[in-house]
C-alpha cells in the first residue's frame, strides 16, 4: 500500500510514520508541504502517487484559533480542500482527521456520526467546514473524528500534568468536561486498519471509556506515583478563550462496523507510561 502522510512531525503523525514503516510511505511535515500552498500539495501528491493520503496536519492550538481565525481556516479548511482536490486529480483515497469539537457538547449520550455539527469554537468551526467541503469534493473520503489526543513526541495533557505535578503540591483541573482520551499509538493503528478496509464516510475513532479532565489527571498522577493532590474545578473557574464541549464522547458504532475495537483509555495510559516512561515524564 502506497501511503502519503501530511503532518508527519505532529503528535499523531509520528505514530503514523511508525505504524506505516512496512508500507511504501511518503511523509511530509508542515515545513515540507504547507497545506496552504496548493501547488506544493499537488506536486507532493503527484510525485508520491499514493493509494491513500492520511491528512493529520492541522492548526490545533484551540485557543490560538480564536485570535487567528484567518490562519485557522486557511490551514484547517482551505488546506484540506487543497489536499482533497489533489487526491481527486491523482485518483487517491483520502482519510482526514477531524475532531469532537465539531459538536457543541450539549448532548448527554455518545455522539453518532449522523448528529448535526454545531461547533462553538473557531477551531471546531474550521474543522466542521472542512468536513463539509471534503464531502462535496470527495464523497468517498473517510473522515475520522477523534478526541483528547495524548502521546509521545509533543505537547499533550499527561505531559502537562506531570510537569505541573512535579513542581506543585496541588493542582486544579476542570471536572465538568467529559470525553474519551485517545492514545496516538492506538489511533494510528486504527487509521491504518481503516485504510486497509477501504473505509469511507464519517467514523468515530477514540479509545473506549470516558472521564473528565480531573479524572484523567488523577489517573496520570497515580500511574506516575506522585504525591500531588488534585482539586476539581469548574470550567467557569478556569476560563479559556475558546469554548470547550462539556460532553464530547463519540459513539464507537461506526468503528465497530469495520470490526475495529479500541482499548480502554486507562489501558492506553498505562502503556503510554510503560512503553517510554522517561518520555512520558517529559525527561529529554
Q: For the residues 272-283, what does the mean pLDDT come to?
A: 63
Question: Does the residue 230 lie in any domain?
Answer: no
Q: For the residues 187-194, what does the mean pLDDT come to?
A: 98
Q: Which of 111, 123, 214, 272 is catalytic?
A: 123
Question: Does the residue 52 lie in any domain?
Answer: yes
Question: Does the residue 111 lie in any domain?
Answer: yes
- pLDDT greater than 90 at residue 11: yes
Question: Does the residue 253 lie in any domain?
Answer: yes
Q: What is the pLDDT of residue 276?
A: 63
pLDDT per position as a tens digit, 234-244: 999 989 999 99
By C-alpha distance, which of 263, 249, 149, 132 is closest to 202? 132
* CB-based contact 180:249 (threshold 8 Å): yes
Residue 189: helix, strand or coil by DSSP? helix
Q: For the residues 64-84, what does the mean pLDDT come to?
A: 98
Q: Name every residue whose Cβ is closer than 8 Å to that of residue 224 and which is 6 or more positions away in sequence.
A: 162, 165, 273, 280, 281
Plot region of 67 (φ>0 → left; ψ -120 to 50 → alpha; else → beta)? alpha
Question: Does the residue 115 lie in any domain?
Answer: yes
Question: Does the residue 278 lie in any domain?
Answer: no
- pLDDT greater than 90 at residue 277: no
259 class by beta-carbon count within 10 Å (0-12 exposed, 13-18 middle, 19+ buried): exposed
Question: Does the residue 235 lie in any domain?
Answer: no
- pLDDT greater than 60 at residue 284: no
Q: How confident is the model at residue 84 (pLDDT cuts 50, 70, 90)?
A: very high
Q: For the residues 112-123, what does the mean pLDDT come to?
A: 98
Q: What is the pLDDT of residue 203?
A: 98
Q: Name every residue whose Cβ is closer than 8 Å to that of residue 16 and which is 6 or more positions away in sequence.
A: 5, 8, 27, 54, 56, 188, 191, 192
Report d(CA 194, CA 188) in Å as an integer.
Answer: 10
- pLDDT greater than 90 at residue 160: yes
- pLDDT greater than 50 at residue 278: no
Give the H/E segment covering residue 265.
helix 265-275
Q: For the residues 16-38, what does the mean pLDDT come to?
A: 96
Locus of grid cell 480502554:
264
CATH code of residue 141: 3.40.50.720
* CB-based contact 215:185 (threshold 8 Å): no
- pLDDT greater than 80 at residue 188: yes
By C-alpha distance, which of 40, 145, 49, 29 is closest to 89? 49
- pLDDT greater than 70 at residue 283: no
The parent domain of residue 108 ranges over 2-155+182-209+249-263
pLDDT per position as a tens digit, 208-238: 999 999 999 999 999 999 999 999 999 999 8
* CB-based contact 183:151 (threshold 8 Å): yes
- pLDDT greater than 50 at residue 279: no
Number of structural domains (the chain) is 1
* CB-based contact 136:77 (threshold 8 Å): no
Give the H/E segment covering residue 151.
none
123 labelled catalytic: yes
Amino acid at each position: 500500500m502506497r501511503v502519503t502522510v501530511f503532518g508527519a512531525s505532529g503528535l499523531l503523525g509520528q505514530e503514523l510514520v511508525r505504524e506505516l514503516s512496512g508500507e511504501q510511505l511518503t511523509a511530509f511535515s508542515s515545513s515540507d508541504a504547507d497545506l496552504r500552498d496548493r501547488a506544493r500539495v499537488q506536486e507532493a501528491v503527484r510525485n508520491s502517487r499514493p493509494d491513500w493520503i492520511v491528512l493529520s496536519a492541522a492548526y490545533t492550538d484551540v485557543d490560538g484559533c480564536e485570535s487567528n481565525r484567518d490562519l485557522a481556516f486557511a490551514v484547517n479548511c482551505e488546506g484540506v480542500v487543497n489536499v482533497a482536490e489533489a487526491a481527486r486529480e491523482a485518483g487517491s483515497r483520502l482519510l482526514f482527521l477531524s475532531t469532537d469539537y465539531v459538536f457543541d457538547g450539549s448532548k448527554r449520550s455518545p455522539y453518532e456520526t449522523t448528529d448535526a455539527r454545531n461547533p462553538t469554537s473557531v477551531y471546531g468551526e474550521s474543522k466542521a467546514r472542512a468536513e463539509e467541503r471534503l464531502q462535496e469534493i470527495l464523497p468517498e473520503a473517510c473522515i475520522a473524528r477523534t478526541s483528547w489526543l495524548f502521546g509521545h513526541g509533543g505537547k499533550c495533557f499527561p505531559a502537562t500534568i506531570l510537569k505541573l505535578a512535579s513542581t506543585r503540591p496541588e493542582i486544579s483541573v476542570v471536572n465538568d468536561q467529559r470525553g474519551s482520551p485517545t492514545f496516538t499509538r492506538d489511533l494510528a493503528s486504527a487509521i491504518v486498519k481503516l485504510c486497509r478496509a477501504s473505509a469511507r464516510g464519517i467514523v468515530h475513532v477514540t479509545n473506549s471509556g470516558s472521564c473528565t479532565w480531573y479524572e484523567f489527571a488523577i489517573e496520570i498522577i497515580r500511574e506516575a506515583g506522585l504525591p500531588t493532590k488534585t482539586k476539581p474545578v469548574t470550567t467557569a473557574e478556569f476560563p479559556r478563550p475558546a469554548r470547550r464541549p462539556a460532553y464530547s464522547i463519540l459513539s464507537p458504532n461506526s468503528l465497530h462496523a469495520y470490526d475495529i475495537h479500541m482499548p480502554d483509555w486507562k489501558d492506553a495510559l498505562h502503556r503510554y507510561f510503560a512503553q517510554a516512561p522517561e518520555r512520558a515524564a517529559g525527561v529529554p
